[in-house]
């Protein structure tokens, strides 16, 4: 699966609020972080817990892809999140290693 396909699988699972399919594309030691900032979750178990809570709190939440750039092992998605909670746009910068998402940084 190409890096862009891997990220699309993750986005589709996010929008379906399928936490198991969502987590299946992440490396065991993956990291979610703010761009050049704080770590939000470390390890697939923490990512799973974070998204179980997110999906429960915002069952209507969806992320709409506005643009994607894929280059080598990096994919950058510009997405808009809504409805369910605050509407906002974010750039998600994915690093792919060994066929899994190893790191995601969010620029907001």
Mean pLDDT along residues 20-31: 97
Residues 6 or more apart whose CB falls under 8 angstroms from that of 89 comprise: 66, 78, 79, 80, 81, 108
Mean pLDDT, residues 53-57: 91
Q: What is the number of structural domains in the chain? A: 1
Percent of the chain with pLDDT over 90: 82
Is pLDDT of 84 > 70? no
Output the pLDDT for position 26.
98
- Residue 100's SS3 state is strand
pLDDT value of position 50 = 94
**Six-digit token pair at 39?**
């770590």
Phi, psi torsion values for 6, nearest 5 degrees: -60, -45
Give me the CATH number covering residue 95.
3.10.450.50
pLDDT for the residue numbered 87: 78
Quote the pTM value.
0.92
For residue 40, give its domain range. 3-107
Cis-peptide into 83, omega within 30 deg = yes
Give the residue among 103, 76, 71, 74 at the shortest CA–CA distance from 92: 76
Decide if pLDDT at 106 tops 70.
Answer: yes
């Amino acid at each position: 699966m190409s890096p862009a396909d891997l990220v699309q699988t993750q986005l589709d699972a996010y929008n379906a609020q399928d936490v198991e399919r969502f987590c299946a594309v992440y490396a065991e030691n993956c990291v979610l972080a703010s761009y050049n900032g704080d770590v939000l979750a470390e390890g697939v178990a923490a990512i799973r817990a974070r998204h179980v809570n997110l999906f429960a709190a915002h069952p209507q939440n969806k992320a709409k892809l506005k643009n994607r750039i894929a280059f080598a092992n990096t994919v950058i998605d510009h997405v808009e999140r809504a409805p369910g909670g605050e509407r906002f746009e974010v750039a998600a910068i994915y690093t792919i290693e060994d066929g899994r998402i190893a790191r995601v940084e969010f620029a907001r």
